[in-house]
Amino acid sequence: MIKVLKNINWPALAALGFTVAFWWQVGKAAFADQSSPVYEFQATTGSGDLFVAGSGDSCAAARSGAVLPDDVRTLDCVQVR
C-alpha cells in the first residue's frame, strides 16, 4: 500500500483536480439560468452621482435591502437583466 502511494505523481494529481474544479465552475456559470430578472434600486444623489442602493429578483426585494445615502434626489427601480 505504501509503495503504491509513493508511486503516485501528487503534483500532477493536484493540478488535474484544480483543472477539473476550474472548468466545472466555468461550465456552471455558462449554463446558469439567465432567464430570471435582476433589479437594482438606484438612487441619484444631490451631486448627481448614481448610487446602487440594493438589488434583488424584484423591485420590492431590491428596495427592502436598500441602503440609501443622505442626500437622495431620485429613486428608481431598474431591471438590469
Terminus-to-terminus CA distance in the chain, angstroms?
A: 54
8 A C-beta contact, residue 46 and residue 67? no
Q: Strand, coil or helix: what is 54?
A: strand
Dist. CA 18–CA 24, nearest whole Å: 10
* pLDDT over 90 (residue 62): no
Q: Residue 70 CA to chain centroid, in angstroms?
A: 27
pLDDT tens column, 63-81: 777 777 777 788 888 888 7
- 74: cell is 431620485
Cα four-point dihedral sign 68, 72, 78, 81: negative
Mean pLDDT, the chain, as a whole number? Answer: 82
Q: Give pLDDT, residue 61.
A: 79
pTM of the entire structure?
0.46
